[in-house]
């Protein structure tokens, strides 16, 4: 590949995401959003989740951010309080802007283990109360590019000259890279953005070619100054990782579970809105998901 970056970013922190329980009987490897890394502006949570029925994430609300669900194996059925329903299968993407409010369930759709990634991206104060919106892309329509032993699926942003159609309210890039043994990648990242890598499979060398290889389920925070990422697969197996970057919002964050606002007053208001079914939660009053009844919660 030609030299597209001048100042490669280096790895400044490394976290191993260990499995923990979440939802009802589900398991997540949480990297961003855990105690040691509460927030990586604008990213609130990164979960590599694993669910097998009967288990999942029954009826729950969101306000003030976006959830991005990207399936790796199997399928998840989601259902919301406005009647929006669908199944996300391996390679499919759901970019959900919760805005002022969504109440939904996310439950396994097939036999065996369903796996995926869920990223929570914060919204700026002026976008927290916008109308909810979905952008759903099935696997065959996810933009892909390939070159010199590298394959990249472009969830958001641009790589190798190919752009994703996803609109990101908070400017974000989200790329799913697979590197064949012996290959090397370079990817520009806007200089002012925060960026991280999460390794899904295999082992890779990131930032500095003389550093040691890092294995699956590790989150790597990149330093804030460079203009891109360089990575190498010097192993004999393929390497798969995501590279995610976003423009920091630089705003105060007050989080109460699935509600993320700028102040405690706004959180108190949100709890009140949810309890009273007001200000965007109106349809929660008489709603219960079908899957929740099926699983007998």
Could you say whether residue 59 binds ligand FJE (CB under 6 A)? no
Stretch that binds ligand FJE, among 6-14, 22-30, 244-252, 272-280 (CB under 6 A): 22-30
Q: Which of 76, 121, 216, 243 binds ligand FJE (CB under 6 A)?
A: 76
Could you say whether residue 106 binds ligand FJE (CB under 6 A)? yes
Could you say whether residue 122 binds ligand FJE (CB under 6 A)? no
Query: Considering the complex, what minimum distance in angstroms separates the CB of residue 74 from ligand FJE?
Result: 11
Contact 262, 128 (CB under 8 A): yes
Q: Which of 50, 77, 94, 118 binds ligand FJE (CB under 6 A)?
A: 118
Q: Which of 8, 23, 132, 228 binds ligand FJE (CB under 6 A)?
A: 23
Residue 252 or residue 257: which is nearer to ligand FJE going by CB?
Answer: 257
Could you say whether residue 258 binds ligand FJE (CB under 6 A)? yes
Per-residue contact track with ligand FJE, 179 to 208, x per CB under 6 A?
Answer: ------------------------------
Q: Which of 8, 9, 11, 22 binds ligand FJE (CB under 6 A)?
A: 22
Query: Considering the complex, what minimum distance in angstroms separates the CB of residue 154 from ligand FJE?
Result: 22
Could you say whether residue 74 binds ligand FJE (CB under 6 A)? no
Could you say whether residue 28 binds ligand FJE (CB under 6 A)? yes
Stretch that binds ligand FJE, among 21-29, 137-145, 219-227, 234-242 (CB under 6 A): 21-29
Could you say whether residue 281 binds ligand FJE (CB under 6 A)? no
Query: Considering the complex, what minimum distance in angstroms separates the CB of residue 88 from ligand FJE?
Result: 9
Could you say whether residue 49 binds ligand FJE (CB under 6 A)? yes
Contacts of 167 (CB under 8 A, 6+ apart): 135
Q: How far apart are CA 272 and CA 292, in angstroms?
A: 24
Could you say whether residue 108 binds ligand FJE (CB under 6 A)? no
Smallest Cα–Cα separation from 169: which of 276, 52, 68?
A: 68
Could you say whether residue 69 binds ligand FJE (CB under 6 A)? yes
Neighbouring C-beta atoms of residue 159, cutoff 10 Å: 24
Q: Which of 47, 80, 92, 203 binds ligand FJE (CB under 6 A)?
A: 47
Query: Considering the complex, what minimum distance in angstroms separates the CB of residue 58 from ligand FJE?
Result: 9
> What's the distance, CA 44 to chain centroid?
9
Judged by CB under 6 A, the number of residues near ligand FJE is 13
Smallest Cα–Cα separation from 190: which of 244, 148, 141, 231?
A: 244
List residues binding ligand FJE (CB under 6 A): 22-23, 28, 47, 49, 57, 60, 69, 76, 106, 118, 257-258
């Amino acid at each position: 590949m030609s030299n597209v970056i001048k100042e490669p970013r280096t790895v400044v922190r490394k976290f191993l995401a260990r499995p923990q329980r979440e939802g009802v009987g589900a398991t997540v490897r949480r990297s961003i959003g855990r105690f040691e890394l509460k927030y990586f502006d604008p990213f609130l949570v990164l979960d590599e989740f694993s669910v097998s029925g009967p288990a999942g994430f029954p009826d729950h609300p969101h306000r003030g951010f976006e959830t991005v669900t990207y399936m790796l194996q199997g399928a998840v059925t989601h259902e919301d309080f406005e009647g929006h329903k669908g199944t996300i299968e391996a390679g499919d993407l759901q970019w959900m802007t919760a805005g002022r409010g969504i109440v939904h369930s996310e439950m396994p759709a097939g036999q065996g283990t369903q796996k995926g990634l869920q990223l929570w991206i914060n919204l700026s104060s002026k976008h927290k109360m916008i109308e909810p919106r979905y952008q759903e892309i099935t696997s065959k329509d996810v933009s892909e590019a390939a070159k010199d032993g590298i394959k990249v699926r472009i969830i958001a942003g641009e790589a190798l000259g190919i752009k994703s159609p996803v609109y990101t309210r908070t400017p974000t890039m989200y790329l799913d890279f697979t590197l064949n043994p012996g290959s090397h990648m370079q990817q520009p990242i806007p200089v002012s953005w925060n960026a991280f890598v999460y390794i899904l499979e295999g082992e890779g060398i990131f930032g500095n070619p003389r550093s040691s290889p890092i294995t699956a389920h590790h989150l790597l925070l990149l330093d804030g100054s460079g203009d891109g990422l360089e990575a190498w697969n010097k192993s004999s197996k393929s390497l798969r990782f995501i590279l995610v970057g976003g423009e920091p919002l630089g705003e105060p964050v007050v989080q109460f579970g699935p509600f993320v606002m700028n102040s405690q007053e706004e959180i108190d208001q949100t709890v009140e809105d949810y309890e009273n079914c007001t200000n965007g939660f109106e349809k929660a009053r008489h709603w219960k998901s079908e899957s929740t009844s099926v699983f007998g919660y």
